[in-house]
């Protein structure tokens, strides 16, 4: 209100010059002081002052006709009191279309223009206030998101470090397990070898002789009987036939019983040589399999192998996670990592028959109601202008287009209090543009804009 009064007062005091010269701003008034002649502002020509705004273009720069449409490159100043003043091309003066909200451009036309400046001003002020609130809120949220971003960044870094630590630990473990597996394998091999040596005449270890003795000694009375031999020992060449009494007796060295000591020196040799007789199949363990040492070594080797595999898998997983995380951390999330929180999120929007999904730093897709999903591009890069690099994202190499090339999406980021997709369009075939609103796109510089009124 104060402003209006001041303006009114100013206008009153300046009536003499101001009434005559239509279409100029106050800062240009000095060029249009009522004199005998008028010098074109570019200095190119001097004309009588009556020829200013006389609806004929005399000056090449159009400066003699600020209030008419006479000059091709002229401009007309809309004062727009109560709203924002601005210039319009002079071709819009008296063209039957209301351009200035104060109706000053249609002073000689059929069109009745309303002065809408006050309404527009109010709307604009409300809008700007809204924008300011949005901006304030946005900037506040942005600050939080930046802080969160920093935390998230640190968290991710920590996560990375943890993972890297885990990888290192796993590496150590891996070495250890490899060593142990190696040892176990060696032991197993040795055992097998020693068993093989035993076959060739070496005395097998006590335990082995004993275990075979125990196997034959069914009733565990400390000696092997004829029946016990008949039950477990068969001819190599005729496994089906049960040994006769005599044959068993021969194996027992003529006696009906044989103790461990005698077994060790007689039957053990025969059985391990395996030329004529052997332990019946199905009876647990031949002399070799039977060997508890070997069994143990085998089990150990297997155990170590499994452990190693597990560690290896874990190592691979961790490494994969590291490289994933590193790839993600390599992306430019803004100077303050403020865009980091978008990573891993997806935002949807339905436009006509299509559902659009934007997963920032990942991909854009379009799904039609008929159900087919089409890629509109994979994360490419930031593509804003140099002074506002983070205002635009490009997603490229989407589904190919049949006329050549592939689908690409350009996402413009605008300031808002909430994060979400606001619009999705396809202005040209396979070229998509999206409007994505988020607090982190809010820029403090916006705050300087507002309603100015001409004084």
Partner 1 sequence: MATFTERMAPVLVLWLAVCLSGTWAVDRGNFKTCDQSSFCKRQRALKPGESPYRALLETMELTNTRLTLQLINDNNKVRLLLELYRLQGNITRVKINELKPLKPRYEVPDVLVREPPTEPLSVLSQDENGVVLSLGAESQRVIVSARPFRLDIMEGHDVLMSLNSRGLLAFEHLRMRKDTQAEPEAENKEEADSANQAETAKEEEEKVEEGMWEETFKSHSDSKPNGPSAVSLDFSLPGVEHVYGIPEHADTLRLKTTDNGDPYRLYNLDVFQYELYNPMALYGAVPVMLAHNTKRTTGIFWLNAAETWVDISSNTAGKTVFGKMLDYVQGSSETPQTDVRWISESGIIDVFLMLGPTPKDVFSQYASLTGTQSFPPLSSLGYHQCRWNYNDQEDVRSVDAGFDEHDIPYDFIWLDIEHTDGKRYFTWDPHKFATPKEMLQGLLEKKRKMVAIVDPHIKVDSNYKIHNEIRSRGFYVKNKDGGDYEGWCWPGSAGYPDFTRADMRAWWASMFAYDQYEGTMENLYTWNDMNEPSVFNGPEVTMHKDAMHGSWEHREVHNLYGLYVHRATAEGLIQRSGGVERPFVLTRAFFAGSQRYGAVWTGDNAAEWDHLKISIPMCLSLGLVGISFCGADVGGFFKSPSSELLVRWYQTGAYQPFFRAHAHLDTPRREPWLFGPENTALIREAVRQRYTFLPYWYQLFYQAYRTGEPVMRPLWVEYPQDPATFAVDDEFLIGRDLLAHPVTEEGSRGVTAYLPGKDEFWFDIHTFQKHNGAQNLYIPVTMSSIPVFQRGGSIIPRKLRVRRSSTCMENDPYTLFVALNTRRSAEGELYIDDGHTFNYEKKEFIHRKLSFANNVLSSVNLAPDAQFTTKSWVERVVILGASKPGKITLKTADGEESQLDFEFDASMSVLTIRKPGMNAGEDWKITLK
Residues that bind partner 1 (CB under 8 A): 54-56, 58, 69-70, 72, 89, 91-92, 95-97, 352-353, 401-403, 425-431
Token pair, residue 412, equals 């413009």
Compute the Cα dihedral for 82, 87, 93, 99 and give only its sign.
negative
Strand-pairing partners, residue 412, are 392, 435
For partner 1, the closer CB: 119 or 323:
119
Question: Helix 117-199 to helix 292-330 angle, to the nearest 10 degrees?
Answer: 160
> Which is nearer to partner 1, 408 or 419 (by Cβ)?
408
Contact call for residues 270 and 277 (beta carbons, < 8 A):
yes
Compute CA distances 68 → 19, 96, 107, 113, 207, whole Å.
14, 13, 10, 17, 121
- Nearer to partner 1 (CB atom), residue 403 or residue 448: 403
| 449: three-class secondary structure by DSSP | coil
> Which positions ≥6 away from 337 have C-beta within 8 Å?
146, 149, 150, 152, 153
Least separation in angstroms between CB 44 and partner 1: 13
Residue number with CB closer to partner 1 (95 or 302): 95
User: What is the nearest approach in angstroms of partner 1 to the Cβ of residue 425?
Assistant: 7
Among the listed residues 213, 234, 233, 235, the one whose alpha carbon sits nearest the alpha carbon of residue 224: 213
Q: Contact 390/414 with Cβ under 8 angstroms?
A: no
The token pair at 340 is 């980091």
Q: Which residue has the tokens 């070898």?
A: 193
How far is the C-alpha of 128 from the C-alpha of 136, rounded, in Å? 12
Cβ 167 to partner 1, closest distance in Å? 48
User: Nearest approach, Cβ of 22 to partner 1 (angstroms)?
Assistant: 16
Closest contact distance (angstroms) between CB of 345 and partner 1 is 27
Q: With respect to partner 1, which residue has the nearer C-beta, 93 or 163?
A: 93
By beta-carbon proximity to partner 1, the closer residue of 43 and 96 is 96
Name the residue nearer to partner 1 (CB basis): 58 or 247.
Answer: 58
Q: Which helix (H) or strand (E) holds 310?
A: helix 292-330
The nearer residue to partner 1, 72 or 420, going by C-beta atoms, is: 72
Question: Taken in order 137, 139, 145, 147, is the CA torsion positive or negative?
Answer: negative
Distance of alpha carbon 342 from alpha carbon 412, whole angstroms: 14
In the complex, what is the shortest distance from the CB of residue 435 to partner 1, in angstroms, rounded to a whole number?
Answer: 12
């Amino acid at each position: 209100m104060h402003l209006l009064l001041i303006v009114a007062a100013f206008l009153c005091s300046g009536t003499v010059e101001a009434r005559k010269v239509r279409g100029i701003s106050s800062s240009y008034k000095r060029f249009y002081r009522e004199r005998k002649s008028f010098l074109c502002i570019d200095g190119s020509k001097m004309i009588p002052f009556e020829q200013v705004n006389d609806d004929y273009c005399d000056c090449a720069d159009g400066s003699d006709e600020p209030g008419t449409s006479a000059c091709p490159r002229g401009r007309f100043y809309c004062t727009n009191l109560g709203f924002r003043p601005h210039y319009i091309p002079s071709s819009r003066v008296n063209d039957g279309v209301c351009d200035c909200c104060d109706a000053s451009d249609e002073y000689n036309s059929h069109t009745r223009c309303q002065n809408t400046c006050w309404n527009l001003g109010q709307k604009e002020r409300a809008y700007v206030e809204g924008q300011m609130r949005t901006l304030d809120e946005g900037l506040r949220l942005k600050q939080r998101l930046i802080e969160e971003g920093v935390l998230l960044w640190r968290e991710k870094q920590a996560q990375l470090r943890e993972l890297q630590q885990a990888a290192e630990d796993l590496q150590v473990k891996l070495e250890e397990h490899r060593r142990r597996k190696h040892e176990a394998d060696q032991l197993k091999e040795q055992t097998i070898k020693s068993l093989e040596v035993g076959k060739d005449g070496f005395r097998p270890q006590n335990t082995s002789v004993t275990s075979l003795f125990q196997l034959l000694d069914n009733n565990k009375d400390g000696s092997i009987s004829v029946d016990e031999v008949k039950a477990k020992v068969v001819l190599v060449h005729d496994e089906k036939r049960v040994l006769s009494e005599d044959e068993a007796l021969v194996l027992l060295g003529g006696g009906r019983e044989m103790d461990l000591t005698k077994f060790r020196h007689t039957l053990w040799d025969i059985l391990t040589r395996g030329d004529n007789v052997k332990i019946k199949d199905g009876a647990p363990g031949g002399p070799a399999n039977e060997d508890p040492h070997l069994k143990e070594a085998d089990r150990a080797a297997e155990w170590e192998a499994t452990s190693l595999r597990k560690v290896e898998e874990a190592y691979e997983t961790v490494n994969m996670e590291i490289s994933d995380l590193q790839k993600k951390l390599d992306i430019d999330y803004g100077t303050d990592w403020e865009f980091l929180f978008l990573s891993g999120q997806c935002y949807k929007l339905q436009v006509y028959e299509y559902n659009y999904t934007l997963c920032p730093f990942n991909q854009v897709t379009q799904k039609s109601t008929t159900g087919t999903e089409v890629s509109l591009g994979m994360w490419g890069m930031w593509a804003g202008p140099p002074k506002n690099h983070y205002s635009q994202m490009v997603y490229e190499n989407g589904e190919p287009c049949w006329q050549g090339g592939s689908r690409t999406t350009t996402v413009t980021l605008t300031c808002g209090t909430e994060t979400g997709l606001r619009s999705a369009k396809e202005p040209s075939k396979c070229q998509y543009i999206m409007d994505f609103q988020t607090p982190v796109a809010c820029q403090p510089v916006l705050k300087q804009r507002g309603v100015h009124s001409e004084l």
